[in-house]
Amino acid sequence: MTDNLAYQDQDDEGLTPRTSHGTLNFSENHDDSVYGSGLGPLTSNQVQQLRQLHGPNTMETGRKRSWYQILFGALCHPFNILLILLATTSGVTEEYKTMGIMLFMVLISTVLRFHQEMKSEIAVKGLLKLVSNKVIVIRKGDGGDDGARIESNVSSCDLVPGDWVKQFPGELVPADLEIIESKDFHVSQAALTGEAIPVQKYASKSTDFYSNSGINDADDNEDESTAELLTGIVTPKPSRPILKFFRKVFGLPVYSEEKLSDEEARNMVSELDKPQLCFMGSAVVSGTATCRVVSTGSKTQFGRMASELAKRRPENAFQLGVRRISWIFFITMICLVPPVLLLQGFIIKDWYAAFTFALSVAVGLTPEMLPMIVNTTLAKGAFEMSRRHCIVKKLDAIINMGGIDILCTDKTGTLTNSIVTLHRYVNRQGVSSSSPLFLGYLNAHFQSVQQNPLDSAIVSHFDSAIENNEDPVFSTIPQKFTLVDELPFDFERRRISVILEQQDKTNTLLICKGAVEEVISQCTRILDDTTLTNVYSMIRNEVATHPLSNSEQVRLLRLNDELSNDGLRVLAVAYKFLESSPVDPYGIGDEAELIFAGYLAFLDPPKESSKDAIKSLLEHNVQVKVLTGDSPLVCQKICREIGIPVDVVVTGMDLVGMSEEQVRKLVEDATIFAKLTPIQKSDVVRALKKNGHIVGFMGDGINDAPALTEADVGISVDSGMDICKESADIILLEKDLNVVVDSVIVGRMTYGNTLKYIVMAVSSNFGNVFSMLVASAWLPFQPMGSLHVLTQNLLYDISQIAIPWDHMDPEFLMVPHRWSMKSVLKFMVMIGPWSSVFDITTFLFMYFYFGIQTPEDDVGLFQSAWFTVGLLTQTLIVHMIRTPKIPFIQSWASLPVVFMTVFIMGVGLGLPYVPEVSKWLKLEWLPWEFYPFLLAVLIGYCCVAQLAKVIYVALFKEWF
């Protein structure tokens, strides 16, 4: 692409349409009876044959999940599976109460997760309603080659390769097209390339539209003739319908047999540069064109991109963390439950009772409400994010959102407004001047053809200047001119001129605007506007000019380079005075001996909100990297303006041929990745993930879809392409980075509350099981009944229901966090056993003070005492573990958490005194002498836990 995209070079290469299998070479001796002479518009018979061969012009833009797939995913959570296994074991041993409690927890967890994800899926489907666009198609009548050409409106789904279509401003390109003829035809390829400036498309003069058929074919045999493809004589690919059926039933992706290689992706991008080709997903900005369809549906470049997304999405950081934590529970059970079973069996000589007790220990070690607490926390996070204009498609994405330490984002439309504006207008010295602005406006205003986006930017800026009364003369001068003639733009001259005459017939003015070198080459003089008081002086030719020397030309070209290096698109403006009544008509020869007036420089400016959002992301320790298909110079300009520190700039060509290790090192240092292919974007994200980062990617174009799939968190917007919305985990209803900042904070809050419960449950339960090991090896009776263990665990878990409504310390929200099995294990080993110290103290107190030493003594009192101590210490520990600070002094929990703590502790103290409940649970009244001991245990436990926290933080420099 040239810097002046509206005035780019003509491509003299012949058209070589590509398909999903490479470059096509069509037979010169095609069957005219099938095609019709000259490959003109198709007949209805040909359209029917082609539709049978190629199918409708539609494609799957992502992996859709049915309600039963969402339900299946909600049920088959690792924690749910663990509980189902334990519930099944309990049922086999006739522990039906235990089984009922566990299955109830699984049911609540599954319903919560299913409800939230199904609600998000419905919301997303509302955003993804596909509208069947109508396009004007030219086809032949029933008279075959002699039939008249008929224009009709048909659905874009009904297009077939070979169809002729007309394109108008505001339409989406319905398929991959080659241009037959066009007039000032500009399309926006931002969704495909990330390039903000629309590009002009036109028919290449050297292209023989009738030797390269757009009627391609997607079957595997490239040697088949085009006639064979049209008549349907093809060899279909072998299919696996049974495998495909089961993969779809279980919500698994149906793999494409081909993989889009990086070389093919680069070829795609190179073809996007070809002026004679338009691609599905582009938008027509201005002008008109008649085109022939080259490819439809999954054979388009868009379709090729979609097929790449059919592969299975890699596990994200949250999924890996959940799987690893599940293994912690399995391994801890394997290590602790067998010793408890053996010790109990040999000591009490009742192996069935020993097995039942060991099973209750396993249940006690497993936090039954973990899935429910986690899903409740995630559901609350999803609700909070919806208030911040986000739709969360997958609940897991909330945790990952809080964990991201690198946000990769596209530039166009995300950091910028995706609207071209006139940024600067300067004279020969690079100083702001109204001369090029005024002349450029007259050129754009009086063009007879529809204006391109750069002309629209000039007119818009000029109108704004008039409204702001920047120069009163501006509002009156345009009315003093009439259009005499026009020299239209072409791709050899790369400039456009208008000839204007003043109403008083005093002057005739030629104003030329176009690519810098082409305009300067026609200039012989240069305007000296240092003494220019107003534009009247220039119009009346009362302003100084001097010859344009070689050295002056060099300075002008250097100024152009400086503006271009600042990320601006540059046009040159020149003018001259003509004879009012020339002998010959005005022509291209009049574009000579021009007076250079200055430059117009354009930019897709950054959003006003981007600077504050970037600052906030950096403050929250989230690096921002820009991955775009646009120019590196433009990206640098935008990054400087919004405060992204730029260290290293990498282009797509820099990545070619690099080893994986080189790429992994480079992505750490670089800030801007420009001119990337879609596959290279996903490669950069993958390399960052392999370096240990949790990566979020934000994009809305087709070229962003592979990276959205690869990222830990894919973020798109409701105005993005359908394929991106279906590939994303989170959809923003506002295209604003500030929404991302809010989502990061909500994600960290959600992560903190989720992990808070996990580490509390793991450490507390580990301490209890360790205490049971000690008691089993020492006491000749069970220190607590199976029902006591289950009830204690259930009451403790109920107290944790309020955790999703807890808050985190501000310091916690300032840094990203990631799931770490090592951290959970450290926490379990370092914090968990401290509770055992007080459990053993309770054993000693009951053993010696109350004399409960044999099965014949009051074992019920012993069990009731340990039940009460265990429940109260477990419940109180919530406040010790939720923060590294001193609880109730430096940090208070939220009101719901405090209320639930007080409530459950009150229930625990009161259970022995409720007749029916105490009888069912086999709890006894506790004597008054026990309560001073209980108070001392609680105070001592809090002090020791605080000391353990200080030691833990000092050793590991973290708190979960």
Q: Where residue 680 sits, what CATH number does that domain have?
A: 3.40.50.1000
**Domain boundary residue, one of 311, 341, 376:** 311
What is the C-alpha to C-alpha distance for residues 932 and 910, in angstroms, rounded to an integer?
16
User: Where are any strands of DSSP class E within 802-867?
Assistant: none
- Shared-domain flag, residues 680 and 543: no
Pairing of strands 713-717, 730-732: parallel
Predicted pLDDT of residue 763: 80
**Domain boundary residue, one of 562, 577, 603:** 603
Predicted pLDDT of residue 791: 82
| Buried-exposed string 919-948: b where 16+ CB fall within 10 A, e elsewhere | eebebbebeeebeebbeebbeebbeebeeb
Sites in the chain below the pLDDT cut of 50? 1-38, 61-62, 127-132, 206-260, 310-312
pTM over the 0.75 mark: no
Does residue 206 fall inside a structural domain?
yes
Predicted pLDDT of residue 2: 36
Predicted pLDDT of residue 555: 93
Q: What number of CA atoms fall less than 13 Å from residue 716's CA on the CB side? A: 27
Residue ranges making up the domain that contains 481: 421-603
| Residue among 669, 660, 724 nearest 687 (CA) | 660
- Shared-domain flag, residues 616 and 597: no
**DSSP letter, residue 847:** I
Residue 904, helix vs strand vs coil: helix
- Shared-domain flag, residues 244 and 193: yes
736 flagged as catalytic? no
CB 2 within 8 A of CB 515: yes
- Shared-domain flag, residues 186 and 43: yes
Predicted pLDDT of residue 312: 47
Residues 6 or more apart in contact with residue 193 via CB below 8 angstroms: 269, 272, 629, 630, 701, 703
CATH classification of the domain holding 521: 3.40.1110.10
pLDDT digits 0-9 by tens, 431-471 = 888 889 889 999 998 887 656 778 888 888 888 777 766 55
Does residue 551 fall inside a structural domain?
yes
620-624: long-range pairs with CB below 8 Å, 24+: 620/741, 620/744, 620/745, 620/813, 620/814, 620/815, 620/816, 621/405, 621/814, 621/815, 621/816, 622/404, 622/405, 622/406, 622/407, 622/744, 622/816, 623/405, 623/406, 623/407, 624/406, 624/407, 624/409, 624/671
- Shared-domain flag, residues 568 and 475: yes
Predicted pLDDT of residue 408: 93
Look at the chain and report how many structural domains it folds into.
3
* Token pair in block for residue 372: 């429910």
Phi, psi of 187 (to 5 degrees): -125, 150
79-85: long-range pairs with CB below 8 Å, 24+: 79/109, 79/322, 79/326, 79/370, 79/371, 79/374, 80/106, 80/109, 80/110, 80/371, 81/326, 82/326, 82/329, 82/330, 82/366, 83/366, 83/368, 83/371
CB 142 within 8 A of CB 44: yes
- Shared-domain flag, residues 628 and 596: no
The alpha carbon of 31 is separated from its chain's Cα centroid by a whole number of angstroms, namely 48
Predicted pLDDT of residue 12: 33
CB 535 within 8 A of CB 479: no
User: Residue type at 803?
Assistant: I
CATH classification of the domain holding 181: 2.70.150.10
Predicted pLDDT of residue 308: 54
Residues 6 or more apart in contact with residue 16 via CB below 8 angstroms: 23, 24, 212
Catalytic, out of 410, 455, 604, 700: 410
